[in-house]
Homo-oligomer: A and B are copies of this chain.
């Protein structure tokens, strides 16, 4: 089977969404990319998670043309393709309609950084996209969703904040691997939930200081990280 390890990682990343209650029925999709092989592996469209196996994962080229697999890829594939094309450092993309992150996307509000949980993963507020125009919706809608994301943020921003809220739709997250993209989707939902409660308690709540924000992000990311067992420090 072509790209067996990538298929397995992508399957596992999709199931991570299920384990954390981020998806209902066949909602959501995670993909991974093998840049050397010029291949993307993505969840099939509309297949139940319970019966999903590595061979159901669809393999496409970097334009999203199916190269291997008997199933249709997720209908959001063109969005993933666009993200891989613009953000050279990412290795996985995760899309969910998770409850609170989607509520922020529907309210078209960026998620401010109200605390260190957010700062540990996202180096700045989680932004929203502009709305698509009627023309962008009418033709190549899914690709244009990716275009709107890449209009809102550049590669450097994509590395600092691996998530965005597509206005009136839902979040897209990414990371160095499919597994990390799914992980970031789980964290985003948790952060979105706590930020929602924070605003309810204090409608004028302000973001934490840049000092605290930097401290928390940098103790987990980059050359000075000292969290966990695997850092190189």
Binding site for B on A (CB under 8 A): 24-27, 44-47, 71-72, 75, 97, 99-100, 102-109, 114-117, 131-132, 134, 137-138, 141, 168-170, 183, 186-187, 190, 193-202, 205, 208-209, 211-212, 215, 219, 226-230
In order of increasing CB-CB distance, the 3 nearest A-B pairs are A46-B228, A103-B197, A107-B202
Counting every copy of the chain, the complex holds 4
Chain B residue with the shortest CB-CB distance to A138: B211
Chain B residue with the shortest CB-CB distance to A201: B107
Q: Assuming A104-B201, A106-B198, is B183 touching A25 (CB within 8 A)? A: yes
A75 touches B219 (CB 8 A): yes
Rounded to whole angstroms, the CA-CA distance of A169 and B134 in the bound complex is 38
B228 touches A45 (CB 8 A): yes
Q: A212 to chain B: which residues have CB within 8 Å?
A: 131-132, 137, 168-169
A199 touches B201 (CB 8 A): yes
Q: List 7 A-B contacts (CB under 8 A).
A: A44-B229, A46-B229, A99-B190, A107-B198, A108-B202, A108-B205, A131-B209
Q: A107 to chain B: which residues have CB within 8 Å?
A: 114, 197-198, 201-202, 205
Rounded to whole angstroms, the CA-CA distance of A104 and B114 in the bound complex is 11
Q: A99-B190, A117-B170 are in contact. List 9 more A-B contacts (CB 8 A).
A: A24-B187, A46-B228, A47-B229, A72-B229, A75-B226, A102-B194, A107-B198, A116-B170, A137-B209
A106 touches B195 (CB 8 A): yes
B201 touches A109 (CB 8 A): yes
Rounded to whole angstroms, the CA-CA distance of A99 and B194 in the bound complex is 6
Q: A72 to chain B: which residues have CB within 8 Å?
A: 228-229
A168 touches B208 (CB 8 A): yes
Q: A197 to chain B: which residues have CB within 8 Å?
A: 99-100, 103, 107, 196
Q: Assuming A227-B45, A229-B44, is B137 touching A211 (CB within 8 A)? A: yes
Q: A229 to chain B: which residues have CB within 8 Å?
A: 44-47, 71-72
Q: A46 to chain B: which residues have CB within 8 Å?
A: 227-230
Q: A115 to chain B: which residues have CB within 8 Å?
A: 97, 102, 105-106, 168-170
Rounded to whole angstroms, the CA-CA distance of A210 and B229 in the bound complex is 48
Rounded to whole angstroms, the CA-CA distance of A137 and B134 in the bound complex is 46
